[in-house]
Structure 1
């Protein structure tokens, strides 16, 4: 891990109580960042905090349902009052929804997926953009999926929300191009997470990469030295495509 590369940086990680968010938060703390860990599951956050503290890092725990949009605004205000800026935002939290024909998806399931996978990330941008602009190198990282472009039968909820998230990130990057903010979309691919287990219950998780494997890449994109205005990183292939230049 790139120890010290994020020294004295402030990083928000959503969905930090398990999976990719958990290990990304640990890695960011190991690299020197103070991690503001956001999740609904208090137990997972406390376990994360114990590991960060044991490794000599620091964190602030924020138990928050991202559908509490006023809560996101309060978090932004609290970060401003304490640090006056935000250096890194990792929008990791997401839900699968339901694998079902489009016509059979319950509206409640659709609305929850849109709320967490799309609207919550817009609210994070809305609340944190002024803070990221106060950083000398603001970095916004959003977890996407190949499902955003590979639209398969029965995956409509997840595909549509991830496609919308990518459009959101690309728009934000275009609007931020003349600032010091850099935006990265990260596609982890198949990974040993609870969401993957729910989607593919017959799959052997031991055949998949552990979620900690992607953490070094997230640290790299969070660092001040990363200077691609908008990139999409594909973890399975290791490729980083610059989207603004590609159009």
Structure 2
């Protein structure tokens, strides 16, 4: 397995989207009711996985379930279990791990995709409740989710954890402080987790999806033409290979927009 240093340094190789065989794999996807999470859940199911789909929005989850069932009817692959859950319900996140253990005894894939933007504003203008919500949803709930499913991923013969981040974690861009800080923290969690599990068959990687045609992007960039951005289904297809049991990389960033792996590098 490839284990990496600090900050970001690109490798030369790129990754072309490929559909791994996920037959019989159990995959947990958060934020599965829309955007990248929705399409990643659909594509994992189409590749043969049983997807445990988590989101706050029941209607979005039901739409996902309908799409997965329709595809399964023609291909015979994939299924979903719907879990309406607000990830700020920390005890609910704990129960989720217990429920997966009781039903399957393991987890093969985690896609920690759920997150919120907060506000784009000068740091001194951000309200405390807004900052706290961003950190709760993006950081604390991600840690709680990792804690809940880590024992289950270790039981898999090829556990795969995909943790969603953002280029904002590295850019230090004006007005993005709460979101950027939360994603930098998420990356630190994922890197430590990858280092803890480097001698196990569990691979933990971070994804920077790049600019994508999502509701969050529209909130952040209201004047931008969404048609100039890749559709979330396209970005999901680029992320899907990170769930492949044959993957050997861990502790790295995958830049989905550029389809390349990036290593961390310590400051000089």
* TM-score relative to the length of structure 2: 0.89
Match of 1:117 among 129, 138, 145: 138
**Cα shift readout 1:133-158 (whole Å, capped 9, x = no counterpart):** 00001111011111000011111011
Is 2:33 the counterpart of 1:17? yes
Is 2:230 the counterpart of 1:209? yes
Give the secondary-structure state (helix, strand or coil) at the position aligned to 1:149.
helix
Match of 1:34 among 30, 47, 50: 50
Q: Report the Cα distance in structure 1 between the residues aligned to 2:133 and 2:20, rounded to whole angstroms.
A: 38
Q: Report the Cα distance in structure 1 between the residues aligned to 2:103 and 2:60, rounded to whole angstroms.
A: 24
Per the TM alignment, residue 242 of structure 1 is displaced from its structure 2 partner at its CA by: 4.2
Residue in 2 that maps onto 1:69: 90
Residue in 2 that maps onto 1:78: 99
Match of 2:207 among 186, 194, 202: 186
- Aligned pairs for 1:1-247 within 5 A: 5-56=21-72, 57-243=78-264
Q: Cα–Cα, structure 1 residues 4 and 55, in superposed 2: closer, same or farther, change >3 Å?
A: farther
**Cα shift readout 1:209-238 (whole Å, capped 9, x = no counterpart):** 000012223221011001112221112221
Cα RMSD (Å): 1.3
**Cα shift readout 1:40-87 (whole Å, capped 9, x = no counterpart):** 000000000000011112000000000001001111001000000000
Q: Report the Cα distance in structure 2 between the residues aligned to 1:65 and 1:59, rounded to whole angstroms.
A: 18
Q: Report the Cα distance in structure 1 between the residues aligned to 2:42 and 2:123, rounded to whole angstroms.
A: 37
How many residue pairs end up in the alignment?
245
Which consecutive aligned stretches of 4+ in structure 1 deviate over 6 angstroms post-superposition?
A: none
Structure 2 unmatched runs, 5+: 1-16, 73-77
Relative contact order, higher structure (CA 8 A, sep 6+): 2
* TM-score relative to the length of structure 1: 0.96
